[in-house]
Amino acid sequence: MLFSPHGMIGRFLHRRSVARWKATMRQAGDVDLTSLETQSQMAQKLVRHVRNFQAEAESRLALPRPGSTTFPRPSGTDWAWRPKLWRSAYAQGGLAPAMPKDNMTNEVVIFHDCKSAEITLRQIRNIREIDLSPYGLAIEAFHFDGNYLSIVIEVPPDSCKGLRRKHLIRFAAVIERERPSRIYARLNVKHGPNTEQLLLTLPDDQAETMVEFDLAYSQLNEQRADKMWVDLMIESPAMNKITFRDLTLCRYPRAEI
């Protein structure tokens, strides 16, 4: 039976075990050789298990911690966010097949017009040393007979509090593609009955990618902004796997000239 290391019984048993081996060490010079050999074999077995435990513990502790919101932010950032799907474990693991308007964590929604629906969404655990995000999202499309495939990222309402046309919205991601596929990012900001849309192409020359949406080029009504979301539109998704290892947004004012 295992006792919690934080509980009273667990702490007591640990102290007792440490005290026992301290006493054994002090008596090592006086104990008979038969007993000493038995104790040495016991110590070797214990050390082997302790080393195995340390290796497993260090491996797990080296991974990005669930809930992590750590990522680079430009100077002056006044709002930053990593979606829950990239921070915390998703209970269902994924969607197979992923049907139109299916969602994960109410922040990630898939849209497509593929009749055969040979598309899967799956949350993965990031285990590489370079990963900052605890989790990622893998999208696989096999036979694709539709015209479009997009992933919508619903952004929290607080992204619109204090939003001004002087702001830049920075979208950053770490994307792995099994084969080349262009991905477009479209920022949508709803203000009253209208929605401003800014469209950019994500660079695909390396896994780490970033674009900045400049609201100065929009007709944003600053007093009425109340909702924001991002469309990720994937071109030619058939027979491809695209993994978003990380995905973050942040907001900061444009540098004054």
Containing H/E element for 23? Answer: helix 8-26
* Residues 6 or more apart whose Cβ sits within 8 Å of residue 189: 160, 163, 195, 196, 215, 218, 220, 225, 227, 228
Of the candidates 96, 94, 150, 92, the residue with the CA atom closest to the CA atom of residue 119: 96
Mean pLDDT, to the nearest integer, of 12-17?
Answer: 75
Cα separation of 201 and 102, whole Å? 25
Topology of domain 79-253, CATH: Jelly Rolls (2.60.120)
Lowest mean pLDDT among 129-133, 184-188, 237-241: 129-133
Mean pLDDT, to the nearest integer, of 81-95?
Answer: 91
Mean pLDDT, to the nearest integer, of 199-223?
Answer: 94
| pLDDT confidence bin for 3, thresholds 50/70/90 | low
Cα-flanking dihedrals φ and ψ of residue 29, to 5°? -80, -15
Cα separation of 163 and 187, whole Å? 14
pLDDT of 55 reads 54
Lowest mean pLDDT among 43-57, 65-79, 171-185: 43-57
Mean pLDDT, to the nearest integer, of 163-188?
Answer: 96
Share of the chain above pLDDT 90, in %: 57
Report whether 133 contacts 86 (CB < 8 A): yes
Q: Longest Cα pair distance anywhere in the chain, in angstroms?
A: 89
pLDDT at 121 over 70: yes
Task: Give SS3 for 63.
Answer: coil
137 vs 145 pLDDT, higher one? 137
